Amino acid sequence: MKLTKQDIQQSTAKVYDTIVVGGGAGGLSAGIYLQRYLLDTLIIDKGKARSFWMQELHNYLGLPPDTPGRSLLRQGKEHYLSLGGDLLDAYEEEIFDEGETLTVGVKVGRTKSKYHTFRTKYLIAASGIIDYLPALDNMRNVYDYAGYNLHVCLICDGYEMADKKVGVFASSAANAEVIFPLGWFTNDITLFTQGLFEVNEDLRGKLETRGYQVESTPIKQLVGQEHQMTGVELIDERVVELETGLISMGSQYHSTYLDKFDLEKQGNNLVTDKMARTSHKRIFAIGDLKVGLNQVVIAVADGALAATQIWRDVRQRIPHYTKSA
Ligand SMILES: Cc1cc2nc3c(=O)[nH]c(=O)nc-3n(C[C@H](O)[C@H](O)[C@H](O)COP(=O)(O)OP(=O)(O)OC[C@H]3O[C@@H](n4cnc5c(N)ncnc54)[C@H](O)[C@@H]3O)c2cc1C
């Protein structure tokens, strides 16, 4: 059930089998599997998942290719709640390792927040990432197009950019490298650096060889209408016409609550075994947070793997599980 302020007291008194941090694609999938394994589950979710921002899920077997992320989330939540799982709208702040259990500290309420702690045997980190966007004076102007024809994910949307005039918005030479796999889909690419980094000789040479343009003048605003970007106006008032765009500016990782565990990482991504377990035996990581492809289908599959491994662990200790055990 959706926990209200009144229910919280009861929930803080018990030990959950699993707490899932994040109710996006991965977290909801994990929650559905856990509840179907008859394990007591709490999903803590602050909302605004990356999947909520996804206007159309183009590549998920069985769903129409214009399915918005928000309907996936709505259905996932309803499904999870119908199986008796607990769901709390809250912000996960910190975790304490108590040996056999983990204590999870959360902030409930955006104003006049209250701090509560919950106990769990296992934790699944499903809190994802969020993409950095070009920092324009008027961010509303960026939100008007980001997630529509201004993409953030080449794997998701390369196909949508095929044979089109594409602007790539990067924040570093390393992020600009996305141009080369994008070159599989289209030849007409302009890299916008906004003066944020130098295009070194090596990169410039590679761009020139492929006939890609480089524009270093900062952007004044994106132009277009009805969520369709048609170009970019630069601060010197020139307008570069485009049909679509790709942002590659890195991401913020929602995993600070795990920092003190010093879990094994590759870059910012958590390293897991094939069942999504991190280097801590009671902490699993799924979806965009872990090493792998940032895709809904992967997050959903990770949720199934983590939940199944937790069920196996629990069964080893209690072969015939009862709710009171
Ligand atoms: C614009 C866009 C288009 C995309 N298109 C596609 C596509 O077509 N196909 C595809 O497969 N993928 C696509 N993706 C990628 C896809 O959205 C992600 O791979 C997927 O959502 C990852 O799922 P997740 O469960 O790891 O994270 P999310 O879905 O982001 O869920 C994480 C949840 O955790 C919550 N959270 C974070 N921190 C905390 C905290 N401290 N306490 C409590 N809750 C917290 C967040 O608010 C969020 O609700 C797209 C992404 C974007 C941004």
Residues 108-122 have pLDDT tens digits of: 988 889 999 999 999
In 3D space, the residue among 47, 51, 62, 46 whose CA is nearest the CA of residue 26 turns out to be 51
CATH superfamily of 5-130+251-317: FAD/NAD(P)-binding domain (3.50.50.60)
Query: Of 315, 322, 288, 318, which is closest to residue 303 (Cα–Cα)?
Result: 288
Q: Quick one: what percent of the chain has pLDDT higher than 90?
A: 89
Name the CATH superfamily housing domain 133-248: FAD/NAD(P)-binding domain (3.50.50.60)
Closest C-alpha among 291, 297, 246 to residue 272: 291
Q: What is the pLDDT of residues 270-324, one digit of tens each?
A: 999 999 999 999 999 999 999 999 999 999 999 999 999 999 999 988 877 566 5
Nearest CA to ligand 1 atom 21: 51
* Residue 31 CB–ligand 1 contact under 6 Å: no
Question: Token pair of 126, please?
Answer: 């499903």
- Ligand 1 atom at shortest distance from the alpha carbon of 90: 43
Q: Which amino acid belongs to residue 137?
A: D
Question: What is the pLDDT, as a whole number, of residue 321?
Answer: 54
Q: Rounded to an integer, what distance in angstroms lies between the CA atom of residue 129 and that of residue 158?
A: 20
Q: Say what the pTM is.
A: 0.95
**What is the C-alpha to C-alpha distance for residues 170 and 268, in angstroms, rounded to an integer?**
18
**Band of residue 325 on the pLDDT scale cut at 50, 70, 90:** very low
Where would I find the beta strands (DSSP E) of the chain?
Answer: 15-21, 41-45, 86-97, 102-108, 114-125, 129-131, 150-151, 166-170, 189-192, 213-215, 219-225, 228-234, 239-241, 244-248, 251-253, 265-266, 269-270, 283-285
What is the pLDDT of the chain when averaged over all its residues?
Answer: 94
Task: Give the residue from 317, 246, 241, 313 showing the smallest Cα distance to 281.
Answer: 313
Distance 24 CA to ligand 1 centre (A): 6
Q: Is 296 in the pocket of ligand 1 (CB under 6 A)?
A: yes
CA distance 135 to 152: 15
Determine the distance separating the centroid of ligand 1 and the alpha carbon of 49, expressed in angstroms.
Answer: 5
Residue located nearest, by CA, to atom 2 of ligand 1:
54
Q: In the prediction, which pLDDT does 11 show? A: 85
Cβ of residue 153 lying under 6 Å from some atom of ligand 1 = yes
Q: Give the mutation target among 50, 56, 80, 115 for probing the ligand 1 site: most ligand atoms within 8 A of CB.
A: 50
Cβ–ligand 1 distance for 285 under 6 Å, the answer no
Cα separation, 194 vs 279, whole angstroms: 39
Decide if 42 contacts 20 (C-beta within 8 A): yes
What integer is the mean pLDDT of 193-222?
95
pLDDT of residue 204: 94
**Which residue reads 């599997």 in tokens?**
33
Cα 28 to ligand 1 centroid, rounded to whole Å: 11
Q: Is 258 in the pocket of ligand 1 (CB under 6 A)?
A: no
- Comma-separated ranges of CATH 3.50.50.60 domains in the chain: 5-130+251-317, 133-248
Q: Is the dihedral of CA 168, 166, 58, 74 positive or negative?
A: positive
Best residue among 116, 127, 159 to mutate for probing ligand 1, ranked by most atoms within 8 Å of CB: 127
How many angstroms is it from 27 CA to the middle of ligand 1?
A: 10
Q: Is the CB of 53 under 6 A from ligand 1?
A: yes
CA distance 285 to 129: 12
SS3 content of the chain, % helix, strand, coil (to 5): 30, 30, 40
| pLDDT confidence of residue 303 | 98
- In the predicted model, what is the mean pLDDT of residues 234-242? 96
pLDDT tens digit string along 92-149? Answer: 899 999 999 999 999 998 888 999 999 999 999 999 999 999 999 999 999 999 999 9
Task: List the residue whose alpha carbon is closest to atom 50 of ligand 1.
Answer: 54
pLDDT digits (tens, 9 = 90+) for 242-272: 999 999 999 999 999 999 999 999 999 999 9
